[in-house]
């Protein structure tokens, strides 16, 4: 049996990310769909993991960390995802 990870909202937050950010807001999906709650969740997550894992403190580091989980910024398998994000209008060259 194969399981897929479900992502929701503005930052494609998974239940695991929501848990790691402190389970803020009224619940995982409601937080993910609320721009203020989801933004705070991502900030909490990055405070928890980014410096600990020596992530680049820019859009690439954050994107790869969120996509790849704790230490995702250092995982080479997150590079193709970052490259795909760069192809989205408005994301190319974002620091």
Average pLDDT in the chain: 86
pLDDT digits (tens, 9 = 90+) for 27-72: 999 999 999 999 999 999 988 998 888 988 888 888 898 888 889 9
The CATH code belonging to domain 1-49 is 1.10.530.10
Residue 78 CA to residue 53 CA, distance in Å, equals 15
The pTM for the full model equals 0.78
Domain boundaries, the chain: 1-49, 57-86
Residues 5-30: tens digit of each pLDDT: 677 777 888 999 999 999 999 999 99
């Amino acid at each position: 049996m194969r399981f897929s990870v479900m992502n929701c909202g503005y930052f494609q937050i998974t239940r695991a990310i929501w848990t790691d950010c402190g389970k803020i807001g009224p619940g995982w999906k409601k937080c993910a769909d609320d721009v203020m709650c989801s933004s705070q969740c991502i900030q909490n997550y990055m405070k928890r993991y980014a410096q600990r894992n020596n992530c680049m403190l820019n859009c690439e580091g954050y994107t790869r960390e969120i996509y790849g989980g704790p230490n995702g910024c250092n995982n080479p398998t997150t590079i193709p995802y970052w490259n795909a994000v760069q192809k989205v209008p408005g994301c190319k060259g974002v620091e």
